[in-house]
Amino acid sequence: MKHATILVPHVQTANSTIACIVGAYQLFTGANDYWQKRGENPLFKIETAGVANESAFINGLLTIKPQVNIASLKKTDLILIPSLTPEFQLALDGNIKLIDWIREQYQNGAEVASMCTGAFMLASSGLLDKRSCSIHWNSADRFRSLFPNVQLKTEKLITDENGIYTNGGGYSFLNLLLYLVEKYYDRETAIYCSKTFQVEIDRQTQSAFAIFTGQKSHGDEVVKKAQEYIEANFHEKISVADLSKRFAVGRRNFDRRFIKATGNTPLEYLQRVKIESAKKAFETTRKTVNEVMYEVGYSDEKAFREVFRKITGLSPLTYRNKYNKEAVPSAYEGEIPRNR
């Protein structure tokens, strides 16, 4: 029988920490129960583990007593790290011991999965250096500034690289758990858990959920002014060459500084600002796809659809119909129907 460890952090926790712990325990227990119904032995022994006798959450409202202390847990096969506070800066107190233990267990053959902002703890171990990682879109800027050597992939719902798994934000940790159930158990068990816990299976992206807010805490005043100009004038025709001239910076130097400060090229930033405005229009108005397209500064339908899908993972019409219950589906608004 394999061993799965669900970590119980003692400090730097969030309200979502307990949801991750309980959700992971319940879903893996459900997978074990299903295997037993099929006449097979449970695949995992599932235990919660920490560095203290008990840990309090949600301002003391709830308390969890870890089943084992990591000091007595010499070998495990899978480590599940719950979410932490999004204000994470440096690992503190007991979390340092957890990080050292994670690193040691991985070197001894264990696989490690972080849920949402649990990626802060995983990255602090150094195991994510030069590897892919996903995290809640709202924590991406902080994460990027703390761990510049990690290849952040905020559009991805799940990353899987060399026995290290991460996932995006919020309750999408349930999708990561289903992914792990399918990998360790089988597809049939994952489908059973998907239906039992009513979690959509095979989700690949979190792009549609992201709200773009440009990173402005970088300290480069020229780039900050350029960002503000883009955000105020995105509906007009703006070229990167014009921007660099406006702020008296050479084109190549302007691009370099902009990417370093924001994580985006100037063109990507402009596109994201335009698409974020389009998303809000689709969510809150009854405007057609073409009306919104022109409003945010696009005149080419194909270009608008391609950029919108690249950023959100959905077509403009699909996005509008998904998030605006008053929108009336139309086969011709801004999109060319496919032949059937």
**What are 104-129's pLDDT values in tens digits?**
999 999 999 999 999 999 999 999 99
**Angle at 336 (CA atoms; ends 335, 339), nearest 5 degrees:** 140
pLDDT over 50 at 73, yes or no: yes
At 149-181, the pLDDT tens digits run: 999 888 888 999 999 999 988 888 999 999 999
pLDDT over 50 at 340, yes or no: no
At 175-215, the pLDDT tens digits run: 999 999 999 999 999 999 999 999 988 777 776 666 677 77
Closest CA to 275 of 244, 242, 320: 320
The C-alpha atoms of residue 155 and residue 137 are separated, in whole angstroms, by: 8
Domains (ranges, CATH) in the chain?
2-208 (3.40.50.880), 221-323 (1.10.10.60)
At 227-252, the pLDDT tens digits run: 999 988 998 889 999 899 999 999 99
> Would you say the pTM of this structure is higher than 0.85?
no
pLDDT band for position 339 (50/70/90)? very low
Percent of the chain with pLDDT over 90: 63
160 strand-pairing partners: 165
pLDDT over 70 at 331, yes or no: no
Higher model confidence: residue 327 or residue 148? Answer: 148
Beta-carbon count within 10 A of 201 CB: 15
48 strand-pairing partners: 6
Q: Look up tokens 């011709």; give the residue.
A: 332
Q: Look up tokens 């409003």; give the residue.
A: 295
Task: Give the model's pLDDT for residue 337.
Answer: 45
Task: Give the model's pLDDT for residue 59.
Answer: 79
Task: Give the model's pLDDT for residue 160.
Answer: 94
The C-alpha atoms of residue 178 and residue 189 are separated, in whole angstroms, by: 9
Task: Give the model's pLDDT for residue 207.
Answer: 66
Percent of the chain with pLDDT over 70: 94
68 strand-pairing partners: 49
32 neighbors 43 (Cβ within 8 angstroms): yes
Rounded (10°) angle between helices 187-197 and 15-37: 130
3-state secondary structure of 156: strand
Structural tokens at position 245: 């001239």
Task: Give the model's pLDDT for residue 54.
Answer: 84
The C-alpha atoms of residue 242 and residue 248 are separated, in whole angstroms, by: 10
The C-alpha atoms of residue 229 and residue 233 are separated, in whole angstroms, by: 6
Burial class for 37, CB neighbours closer than 10 Å (0-12, 13-18, 19+): exposed
The C-alpha atoms of residue 159 and residue 307 are separated, in whole angstroms, by: 23
